[in-house]
Amino acid sequence: MEAATIHQQGPRPRSEEPAATGRSMLGWKPADPGPLGLAAFAMTTFVLSMFNSNLVNGKGLPVVLGLALAYGGIVQLLAGLWEFRTGNTFGAVAFCSFGGFWISFWALNVFYAKQIGGNAGHAIGLYLWAWAIFTAYMTVAALRTSAAVLLVFVLLTATFILLAIGADGANETVTHWGGYVGIATAAAAWYASFAAVVNATFGRTIAPVVPLAREQRSREPLVRETVVRETVVREP
């Protein structure tokens, strides 16, 4: 108590600043940006897949573009950047990448699609195959996330492959199948988002996601121990 009184009356010793900073960092916990990123991905994928499956007249396709830029693109990109703050490498790479995908999809349709010469189907097919490759190796990483997220990536890989094959061969039937699988992908992503929001809000498991990651010892006690040691060593 005496030491505390002295610190309040006089200037704070410089030696205590690292400890105070450490306590401040430990006391603040950022919200999980994952449900936001999944929701943005799910809605945009669902609307586009409704057109790809031919369940909605293709003349309405431009309605996807605003959604792709604002929600699927910008919001998902922000969610990915916020994942960096939480230390989630998988979420950061996934959301930033697919945010970039939707922004590029918007730009391609608004500015560049009419400039594609020769066989446009092969060009679009190459674009889709590249995203299929990325999604496939992210599926491997998803084996250590949760069953809900893994299902999203398995279905999304299949969606890209079907759409790429459909674009390469100008095969509308295969493209329609890609749309059907895309709808299933959106449903899985919506469930994963719903589960994360509901479980966090209720503080218990309402909607299971089946974690696949191996249990790891939390590093927080180690960090706190380090802060305490610094305080003891630096205290005058």
Copy the structure tokens of residue 5: 């009184």
pLDDT of 2 > 50? The answer is: no
Domain with 95 in it = 32-202
pLDDT of amino acid 214 = 74
In a domain, 18, yes or no: no
The whole-number pLDDT of residue 60 equals: 87
- Give the contacts of 2 (CB within 8 A, at least 6 positions apart): none
Asked whether the predicted pLDDT for residue 77 surpasses 60, the reply is yes
Chain mean pLDDT for the chain: 84
Q: What is the DSSP letter of 214?
A: P
Residue 131 domain-assigned (yes or no)? yes
pLDDT higher for 29 or 16?
29
CA–CA separation, 179 and 212 (whole Å): 28
Task: Round to whole Å and give the CA distance between 126 and 35.
Answer: 30
Helix axes 89-107, 76-86, angle to 10 degrees: 160
Among 19-28, 117-126, 170-179, the minimum mean pLDDT is found in 19-28
Is 11 among the domain residues?
no
Spatial neighbors of 209 by CB under 8 A, at least 6 apart, are 146, 147, 148, 149, 192, 195, 196, 199
User: At 120, is the pLDDT very low, low, confident or very high (cuts 50, 70, 90)?
Assistant: confident
What mean pLDDT comes out for the span 100-104?
97
Residue 112 has pLDDT above 50, yes or no: yes
Number of domains in the chain: 1
Q: What is the pLDDT of residues 52-76, one digit of tens each?
A: 999 998 888 899 999 999 999 999 9
CA-nearest of 3, 79, 67 to 36 is 79
Q: Is 14 contained in some domain?
A: no
Task: State if pTM tops 0.85.
Answer: no
Give counts: helices (H), strands (E), the chain: 10, 0
User: Which residue shows structure tokens 């459909």?
Assistant: 166
Helix H or strand E encompassing 89:
helix 89-107
End-to-end Cα distance, the chain: 15
pLDDT given at position 121? 84
Tens digits of residue pLDDT in 162-191? 999 999 988 999 999 999 999 999 999 999
The span from the CA of 75 to the CA of 43, in Å, is 12
Report yes or no on 37 lying in a domain: yes
Residue 19, domain member (yes or no): no
pLDDT category of residue 25 using cuts at 50, 70 and 90: low
Q: What is the number of alpha carbons within 13 Å of residue 52 lying toward its C-beta?
A: 26
Q: What is the pLDDT of residue 170?
A: 86
Q: Which of 61-75, 122-136, 183-197, 218-232 is predicted with the least confidence, judged by mean pLDDT? A: 218-232
Residue 123: inside a domain: yes
**CB of 68 within 8 A of CB of 103?**
yes
Contact by Cβ (8 Å): 94, 71: no
15 in any annotated domain: no
pLDDT of amino acid 44: 97
- Burial of 104 from C-beta contacts in 10 A (0-12 / 13-18 / 19+): middle
Among residues 128, 182, 129, 131, the alpha carbon closest in space to that of 152 is found at 182
- Judge whether 66 and 110 are in contact, CB under 8 Å: no
